[in-house]
Amino acid sequence: MKQKIFKIFLGLFSLSIVLIIGGAWYFSGVLMHPKTHRCEIDHYLYCGDPKSDLGLEFETIEYVTSDGFKISAWWIPASKKSDKAILSIHGRGATRREGLRYVKLFHEQGINVILPDLRDCGESQKSFSSMGYHERKDLLATLQYAKMRGMKSIGILGFSMGSSTSILFMAEQPEIKIGIFDSGFADFIDVVAYNAKKDFGLSKYPLLPLVVFFYENRGNLKTDELSPERVIGSIAPRPVLIFHGDKDDGVPYEHGLRLEKAAKEPKELVIVKDGEHTKLWQKDETLVSSKILKLIQKL
């Protein structure tokens, strides 16, 4: 009898281990390959191109990252000859269209805009999402392209994962003069744990550490480098503008509070009342545009 019970226990234990490992492998794949966003007006505002939606001339350009990935982007020249540019960096699973809502403001202020599709998104070469780890190479290639076009004063705007990636990148690149960060996460592990609980009802342990292990090894990356709150303080004395909505259900607004706390002056946190994830312009365009307009005078 005891031997039978032991065999049953051993079988259940082995099955649990298999399920945990299998589940961790599956969820590491979910991190690597997010569902592609459909272009919906309530999120993107514009689903065409700069000419059809905004009446602005543009170029479709391509360049290659240091690890050999082809990046497709739009270059939108300013209203007048200028050596100023903004890099517009979209979020996870999104495309360059996410930044179109801001383009006219920059254009009218004499600032060129470059909007790349990050790797595995839009028209760029297929790969996987590394939550900002490898995407920093896409940003570096974008910066290098802007400099090749004669840009000397460069800022960055990011949304969600693109916001967090932009913080990591700006901390590494002293040439970036201003940062505008919309709905970014403060720490990779914390935001993944939050969404695992919200979307799948999963607790942080025992699954998450194994998910991270598989994700790091499958993606050749280090998740401990994906903590923008650890590095945002090093951006000073360059100014940063942090936006977050208090109704954000993708990256809770506490992440915005954490980023503001970790940042050093000059900095500003703008909490948009009833603002949803990356939909802050839609909620209060006057507030958002006025804050950005003030900041870009420093570019």
Name, in order, each residue with C-beta under 8 angstroms of 291's C-beta and a sequence gap of 6 or more: 241, 243, 268, 270
Burial (CB < 10 A; 0-12, 13-18, 19+), residue 103, is buried
The pTM for the full model equals 0.94
Domains of the chain listed by start with CATH number: 1-32+188-222 (no CATH), 38-187+226-296 (3.40.50.1820)
pLDDT tens for the chain, residues 1 to 299: 656 665 555 454 455 566 678 888 998 999 999 988 788 888 899 999 999 999 999 999 999 999 999 999 999 999 899 999 999 999 999 999 999 999 999 999 999 999 999 999 999 999 999 999 999 999 999 999 999 999 999 999 999 999 999 999 999 999 999 999 999 999 999 999 999 999 888 788 888 999 999 999 999 999 999 999 999 999 999 999 999 999 999 999 999 999 999 999 999 999 999 999 999 999 999 999 999 999 999 99
Helix (H, G, I), strand (E, B) or coil at 134: coil
For 120, other C-beta atoms within 10 Å of its C-beta total 22
Q: Are strands 84-89 and 112-116 parallel, antiparallel or unpaired?
A: parallel
266 preceded by a cis bond (ω within 30 of 0): yes
| Residue 202: predicted pLDDT | 79
- The answer to whether 87 touches 118, Cβ cutoff 8 Å, is no
Choose among 144, 147, 143, 179: nearest CA to 164.
179
Q: Write down the pLDDT at residue 13.
A: 46
3-class state of residue 159 by DSSP: strand
- At 206 the pLDDT is 83
The pLDDT of residue 5 is 61
Strand order in the sheet with 84-89: 59-64, 70-76, 112-116, 84-89, 153-159, 176-182, 240-245, 267-272
Helix (H) or strand (E) run with residue 189 in it: helix 188-200
Bond prior to 237 in cis (omega within 30° of 0)? yes
- What's the pLDDT score for residue 128? 96
CB 250 within 8 A of CB 238: no
